[in-house]
Amino acid sequence: MSAQVVLEARNLTKTVASPEGPLTILSDVSVLVRTGETLAVVGASGAGKSTLLALLAGLDSPTSGSVLIAGVDLTRLDEDGRALLRGQHVGFVFQSFHLIPSLTALENVMLPLELRARRDARQAAAQALEQVGLTARAAHYPKQLSGGEQQRVAIARAFVAQPAVLFADEPTGNLDTHTGQRITDLLFGLNRAIGSTLILVTHDRSLAQRCGRMLELDAGRALG
């Protein structure tokens, strides 16, 4: 039996106003992703990769088209509804880490669980930090951590609630090659371990080739 569809985008278009008139950033893009798949979204700078990710994750709304996560149409939900759905089904890893400076590594990882009122938040977060090899840094604040360590905290935070879909936007973009390789191995290893769906935005072809398939964008349109 084929795996269940976890995310489906239908004819996504995003147009914004500009001094020269309407500017189409994304044009009629459709994609279907099944549970456990790994999909790389690739293309040149300005091709629309991050815009597509924002639409797929419900962080932004399309001008036209629809996005379904776990069978729920994001475009029919208000902002609170989309946030609730993200909290239940989605994890994020960004290029710039997005850790909260005033929270320790452990507290940053606990955050998505506390938003769900999980009583085992501290225990689960500690286990997630152990999985990324940062138990000894649990009480450290982001400014006390290296870039690679901060990204490992971000990955632990993304995986701690075992999301159905994990979005990663240039996750190695701010890291040196060696650290980036370790982060990539960790990301794919954890993704396999929990069986989530990984959607990875990257300009790095070698990283994209580690995914099961690729979606290439060119000037806002899907190729192939």
pLDDT at 32 over 90: yes
Quick one: average pLDDT of 151-157?
90
Return all residues near 80 (Cβ < 8 A) that are at least 6 apart.
none
How confident is the model at residue 129, as a pLDDT?
92
pLDDT band at 1, cuts 50/70/90?
A: very low
Domains for the chain: give ranges and CATH numbers. Answer: 5-222 (3.40.50.300)
Task: Report, as an integer, the average pLDDT of 198-209.
Answer: 89
pLDDT tens-digit profile of 115-125?
778 889 999 99
pTM value is: 0.84
Least reliable range by pLDDT among 80-84, 175-179, 216-220: 175-179
